[in-house]
Structure 1
């Protein structure tokens, strides 16, 4: 904060992955985010690389810290969705993904992006002490087939966590925050849409969202379904391994898997 001359304007928030400090910088409302884990640091560098292309504007970045525009938060996709505007919010999320994927040359992207084959290791190569069964096992096979069959033309830089809480209102512009920083088949970037913002809304709107995503992305519905089921299975494995309670991913997998 001293180095970049940031005037703190609120309490620092500490999360398991980062420190967040709101402030003023050169007459702009900003958020300073300092990573506590490698994944957050990678995400900050990716936001800077996108240079405002459907992502939050980044003013300064280091290996660990990122200074970015502060969201105005006048609108909330989660609130819009809960109030019956799910089609509209799904369309906003699809348009955001399309813009993020539209960078013509990815050769200058951060070098430490995680390939999907590695991201899915806990699902496709599980600990032998905890073998998968039932729908998780079928989803693991599906994930392996999807990753193996992905053509080079479908590979791109992925946000990895696009959902209603990670696309915010910046003065009437929807922009993404908090990427995971992945690389692989573009179809997987749509999966998190289907698990948010709540279990009841996600399950109720599943088929309608499939139609909207397929129309906007140009992907066939079977491909979208396969990616969503594989993504939910991975999330379910992480939840189970961490001792957490059943999540929306479990509900999607159980209902549609």
Structure 2
């Protein structure tokens, strides 16, 4: 019998409401379905956040990972993104059942995350290499969400909270929306992006590092660096760490530093808004990073507004 952590149950209910409640109740039957269909035994889950993810052992001894998600647009985007990223740099898909929200993936060993590396430059160079291997030019055959949906998400938050919602002020919301729009108006070349690439979504696999959990998004490459810049930050020296990471990414990937800083400001605001919408505690480093990105942009390239 699977026992789900209370905080995980509450997160799913907060995000998905009644659909989430029903899906949580169905997890035991989904596990039974998977065990029978693929002749495997599902073991105790990993630490859970937004999906049910657990190791499993097949009857022939092979180890895999079972990922169960509420079947929705985000899950379908993940499956589609995995098809574009198939190959070096991305975890391999063994089988899927899209209608039931099931993904069976290879088990990565030893599987520790990039966050275990203490050397900032080395970790950022590894992330840059993965980004370079994953990004492919957008194709008309893609049905992945466009980056404009992120802008719309921010605008929806503003409509719901026109005077802001602590700690996000009305001025920050307006500035972030304006920044989104001005960046999108530039019509830069678009790529199929991971959409959530950070230290905890990059795992060690034998002698290489591999990305997991793509959200799938179409936008410019600079935008896909932001989650990496925001995660695994020290309690102090926030500005120094972000600056160092940006320098490595710009050098390795030939990206536009000004646009990284502008996207960093806009997306940091959006990330905090997402947490507030989901009823979660917002990340303090995410919030502080808003002002780091703005400061660096203003010092190097002039004011955002």
Cα distance, 1:4–1:49 mapped onto 2, change above 3 Å: farther
**Contact 1:48–1:57 (CA under 8 A) maintained in structure 2:** no
Aligned pair partner of 1:191 in 208, 218, 226:
226
Measured after TM superposition, the shift of residue 35 of structure 1 is: 1.2
What are the ranges of 5 or more consecutive residues in structure 2 without an aligned counterpart? Answer: 1-33, 165-169, 295-305
Match of 1:24 in 2: 57
Cα distance, 1:180–1:141 mapped onto 2, change above 3 Å: same
TM-score, length of structure 2 as denominator length: 0.73
Cα distance, 1:141–1:202 mapped onto 2, change above 3 Å: farther
Distance of 2:91 and 2:113 partners within structure 1: 15
Match of 1:233 in 2: 269
**Contact 1:17–1:37 (CA under 8 A) maintained in structure 2:** no
Q: Secondary structure at the match of 1:54?
A: coil
Q: For 1:8-40, what per-residue CA distance to the aligned partner results, in whole angstroms no more than 9, with x for missing partners?
A: 3x2145846322231234543210112124223
Distance of 2:76 and 2:281 partners within structure 1: 28
Match of 1:11 in 2: 44
What are the ranges of 5 or more consecutive residues in structure 1 without an aligned counterpart? Answer: none
Measured after TM superposition, the shift of residue 74 of structure 1 is: 5.5
Measured after TM superposition, the shift of residue 201 of structure 1 is: 6.4
Q: For 1:44-99, what per-residue CA distance to the aligned partner results, in whole angstroms no more than 9, with x for missing partners?
A: 3422442223110111122121111112135431121xx3x011111111111111
**Contact 1:30–1:69 (CA under 8 A) maintained in structure 2:** yes
Measured after TM superposition, the shift of residue 104 of structure 1 is: 5.9
Higher helix share: 2
Distance of 1:57 and 1:117 partners within structure 2: 29
**Contact 1:28–1:69 (CA under 8 A) maintained in structure 2:** no
Q: For 1:112-158, what per-residue CA distance to the aligned partner results, in whole angstroms no more than 9, with x for missing partners?
A: x111101221224544341252233212211111122122xx21111
**Contact 1:156–1:183 (CA under 8 A) maintained in structure 2:** yes
Aligned pair partner of 2:96 in 56, 61, 65:
61
Cα distance, 1:98–1:59 mapped onto 2, change above 3 Å: same
**Contact 1:124–1:143 (CA under 8 A) maintained in structure 2:** no
Distance of 2:262 and 2:64 partners within structure 1: 39
**Contact 1:58–1:67 (CA under 8 A) maintained in structure 2:** yes
Larger radius of gyration: 2
TM-score, length of structure 1 as denominator length: 0.86
Match of 1:43 in 2: 78
